[in-house]
Chains A and B, each alone.
Chain A
Amino acid sequence: MTREELIEALEDILMLDEGELETDKSLESYEDWDSMSYLSLIALFDGKLGKKLDIATIKGFKTPQDIIDSAAL
């Protein structure tokens, strides 16, 4: 998965249109950053990146950039 594909997937999870994701903006400010998006993120990391994500790690993410860094693409 490329960085661009990950951003596209994050936009999908956060119900944003293409190009709307601001990687340094607080995740809390996104209306759709909730427990359902946590599930999507766990599935994304497990299915596309082969990486395990736990809830504590997800709750530690402050911005989309933290997620991108965690993916270590």
Chain B
Amino acid sequence: MHTKIKNCSLRHIETMVPPTIVDNMSLDFDEKFKKKVVKNTGVRQRHVLDDDMSLLELYEAAGCNTLEKLGWERESIDGIIVVTQTPEYQLPATAAILQGRLELSKDTFAYDISMGCSGYIYGLYSAMSHIAASDGEIRRVLLFVGDAISTIVHPKNRSSVFLFGDAASCSALEYDPGASVTPFVLKSDGSEYRSIIVEDGGLRNRIGKHSFEEYTDEEGNVNTRASLKMDGATVFNFTVENVPALIEETLAYGGMEKGEISRYCFHQANKFMVDFLSMKAGIHEKTPVNIDKFGNTSSVSIPLLLSDFEISEKNTMLIGFGVGMSMGTCIVDLGHTSTAHSVYQKKD
């Protein structure tokens, strides 16, 4: 699907990580194996939620910081969207809870989107669509994107336990008749849905005692059916086959040459994959990487990249790909977008 959205600006991106840091070399695995994993994935450390924390605190703090930074009144917010695959509850929607926590107007719409690695692009598309389609009647939307995948990884699963960090973000979008057009390209391939999956806990496979029984897969990874299962090689194959062509397609749709893009911001899947994709596409020098500090933070990795590198440039391409399988890109004008990043401070 291709579409160009007009009249909408991204004003601010606020990202937040939990205070606890896990150093991957401190995990209880063989030293040689740890060195190999850290070298290949590029993940040196990750911020993770403590057992007594949830993402809601981080969303709330990121939302408050955003409103303060922009000087926006709570009553001026027309809608909030939360993109996550690790919600507060199975129901209700996290966005509904957050509307209450932020004390936003009851006239605010609030809903969740269940997307992962491509989730930031889908969230931007949804938020911008509301604003553009209403011709500004919906004027301001806060897009919250957060994931805590570390909480659904089995601690003995050596293929995933080094990879995932937790983070949350808030992006502020506003009606702006002078805004640059934002081209989006969104794609899906549900035939590969089993490549990244939590098998039990939904309707297809109800949660039960058996969901927590440990098994060892053919690669020697210990896991349970209630934890994340990822077929890394299939995901890598899918990505290599599709993402370089997607970048070309996005450039063509946006009517731009490769050199006109100031930065290519990839979902931080793992360093090996991002390096490979950016080399293959011939854009390595314009590709920032920060997976060493945060790990793979799922839907939050792109906003975390934008805030960490303080990217504020006109033609920035965002490239999300992964669980679903799902892919999405957009070329966004960040020329007037502010960013901020912080570590969440626990309240006593």
Contacts and interface: CB of A to CB of B under 8 A. Distances in A.
Contacts of B273: 39
Nearest to A39: B236
Contact of A35 (B233, B241, B280): B233
B303 to A, nearest CB: 26
B72 interface: no
Given A42-B237, A47-B280, A35 B232 contact: yes
A16 interface: no
Contacts of B237: 42, 54-55
A58 B32 contact: no
Contacts of B209: none
Given A46-B240, A46-B280, A55-B234, A35 B219 contact: yes
Interface in B212-247: 219-220, 232-234, 236-237, 240-241
Contact of A36 (B32, B37, B241): B37
Interface string B270-297: 0011001001100000000000000000
A47 B282 CA distance: 12
B40 interface: yes
A33 to B, nearest CB: 10
Contacts of A20: none
Interface string B12-48: 0000000000000000000010001100100000000
A34 B218 CA distance: 10
Interface string A39-60: 1101100110000101100100
Interface string B145-163: 0000000000000010000
A42 B240 contact: yes
The number of chain B residues touching the other chain, given as a range, is 10 to 19
A40 B276 CA distance: 10
Contacts of B240: 42-43, 46
Nearest to A44: B276
B32 A15 contact: yes
Interface in A15-44: 15, 32, 34-36, 38-40, 42-43
Contacts of A32: 36
A20 to B, nearest CB: 15
A43 B276 contact: yes
Contacts of A46: 240, 276, 280
Contacts of A38: 232-233, 236
Contacts of B40: 36, 39-40
A39 B219 contact: no
B154 to A, nearest CB: 16
Contacts of B37: 36
A46 B234 CA distance: 15
A16 B232 CA distance: 23
Given A36-B36, A43-B240, A47-B276, 16 more contacts: A15-B32, A35-B159, A35-B233, A36-B232, A39-B40, A39-B232, A39-B272, A40-B40, A43-B236, A43-B272, A43-B276, A46-B276, A52-B241, A55-B233, A55-B234, A58-B233
18 contacts: A15-B32, A34-B219, A36-B40, A36-B232, A38-B232, A38-B236, A39-B40, A39-B233, A40-B40, A40-B272, A42-B236, A42-B237, A43-B272, A46-B280, A47-B279, A55-B233, A55-B237, A58-B233
